[in-house]
Amino acid sequence: MNDIEPIKEQINETLENIHRKMVESFNINFTYFKDIKIIKQPELLKKLTQRMRNNLRKNGMTYSDTQWKQISDTLSQNPVTGFFENFAFYNPKDEVLYMNEKMTKNYPEKLIPVGAHELSEKLLSAYLSPPREAPVQAVTKAYIEAKETNNTEKLYELLSTYIDTIFKSIFKEGCCEAIALQTLRSMDYETLVTSLERELQIGHSKCIDLLFDIDNARRRGDRVKRDQVRSRYGRRRVQAIDEEKLVKDVLRSAQVIKGVSYYLGYPLAKAVLEKHGIEGIKLVLEKCPPLRAQYFANPQTYLAQLEKITPVIEQRR
């Protein structure tokens, strides 16, 4: 690992400068990483899997050692490994930023934007009010209850809540990217930011239909709920719908979206940040998250909605 030390020192120095600039630009005093660890991909996957396991356990979901081995094996297989070559994450529990050694050697151009994105996550974690209850935990418990009691109407309500959570997480991921790129632009990384924004725009145009698929799934569930209410009064028969397929379609889309969420969320997050600043980001995430695909396809439609509550944003400045 001796040959890694000079790279680590250079990364650390660069990210410390970005951290100082973020604190100065957004006037939010958040802590820097306690350490940066550059590790090989198998160890990185092991760390990530353990983090996933801890988060799920906290949310009331447990898996056996055999099941976790299957999950780890899946993460280790192609084509997922290509994604992890350009991967880094920070663990809030130990405040350590973990980076793939292969990325530091083969893709040095990725180090600055990846590190800046992780710093943005730390900034938002320090700035946002902590949720009273983990949304995934609440939805998971209620979903299990709805399935056990065969309460179809409740199932569709929960599915809609889960879709809301997806949209909120997409926007938050986009905010991290917007904060990171705005910071880098102010540090004379204009060429890098221009290249990254072009990449984000291409990714956004390719993936945006995923959000409309999620919207359509919600509408199908809402239609069934309305039909059920009407059928109680003899007004209309309930249209048959494959519940399992609907749920699986949403879960499948959510897994894909997780990998491209910063593409999908960036244009809208950038628009909010530029118009209303970090205070607008906080207000949107805590009070009025964008929960429709059209807001991500055309940010101006959401900005028009925000105009109605801009006095609240102005009071915070």
CATH of the domain at 83: 3.30.2010
Give domain status of residue 35, yes or no: yes
Mean pLDDT across 234-251: 62
Pick the last residue of a domain from 73, 104, 127.
Answer: 127
Residue predicted with more confidence, 219 or 236: 219
What local confidence, expressed as pLDDT, does residue 80 receive?
Answer: 42
Domain count, the chain: 2
Using an 8 Å Cβ cutoff, are 238 and 146 in contact? no
User: 189 and 248 share a domain?
Assistant: yes
Give domain status of residue 55, yes or no: yes
Q: Compute the distance between CA of residue 86 and CA of residue 106 in angstroms, rounded to an integer.
A: 9
Residue predicted with more confidence, 13 or 156: 13
pLDDT, the chain, mean: 80
Mean pLDDT across 269-281: 95
pLDDT digits (tens, 9 = 90+) for 89-103: 888 888 999 888 888
What local confidence, expressed as pLDDT, does residue 88 receive?
Answer: 79
Give domain status of residue 133, yes or no: no
Ranking 143-152, 210-219, 260-269, 284-293 by mean pLDDT, the lowest is 143-152
Pick the last residue of a domain from 104, 127, 150.
Answer: 127
User: 25 and 162 share a domain?
Assistant: no
Q: Would you say residue 226 has pLDDT above 50?
A: yes
Residue predicted with more confidence, 65 or 227: 65
CA-angle at 92, arms to 89 and 94, nearest 5°: 100
Pick the last residue of a domain from 61, 92, 127.
Answer: 127
Residue predicted with more confidence, 136 or 233: 136
Q: Would you say residue 118 has pLDDT above 50?
A: yes
User: 109 and 199 share a domain?
Assistant: no
Of the pLDDT bands very low, low, confident and very high (cuts 50, 70, 90), residue 1 is: very low
User: 3 and 151 share a domain?
Assistant: no
Give domain status of residue 135, yes or no: no
User: 195 and 97 share a domain?
Assistant: no
Give domain status of residue 108, yes or no: yes
User: 190 and 292 share a domain?
Assistant: yes
Neighbouring residues of 275: CB distance < 8 A, sequence distance ≥ 6? 303, 306
Residue predicted with more confidence, 86 or 263: 263
User: 290 and 191 share a domain?
Assistant: yes
What local confidence, expressed as pLDDT, does residue 85 receive?
Answer: 62
Mean pLDDT across 258-263: 88
Residue predicted with more confidence, 243 or 311: 243
What local confidence, expressed as pLDDT, does residue 14 receive?
Answer: 94
| Report for 2-11, 57-66, 123-132, 290-299: range of highest mean pLDDT | 290-299
Q: Would you say residue 182 has pLDDT above 60?
A: yes
Give domain status of residue 233, yes or no: yes
Residue 11 domain boundaries: 1-127
| Report for 38-42, 56-60, 88-92, 203-207: range of highest mean pLDDT | 203-207
Give domain status of residue 68, yes or no: yes
Mean pLDDT across 3-31: 93
| Positive or negative: CA dihedral 295, 299, 304, 306 | positive
Which residue from 72, 71, 118, 81 is spatially nearest to 102, judged by alpha carbons?
Answer: 81
User: 33 and 71 share a domain?
Assistant: yes
User: 44 and 73 share a domain?
Assistant: yes
Helix axes 111-127, 152-185, angle to 10 degrees: 120
User: 56 and 101 share a domain?
Assistant: yes
User: 176 and 298 share a domain?
Assistant: yes
Give domain status of residue 205, yes or no: yes
User: 94 and 186 share a domain?
Assistant: no
Q: Would you say residue 313 has pLDDT above 90?
A: no
Of the pLDDT bands very low, low, confident and very high (cuts 50, 70, 90), residue 238 is: very low
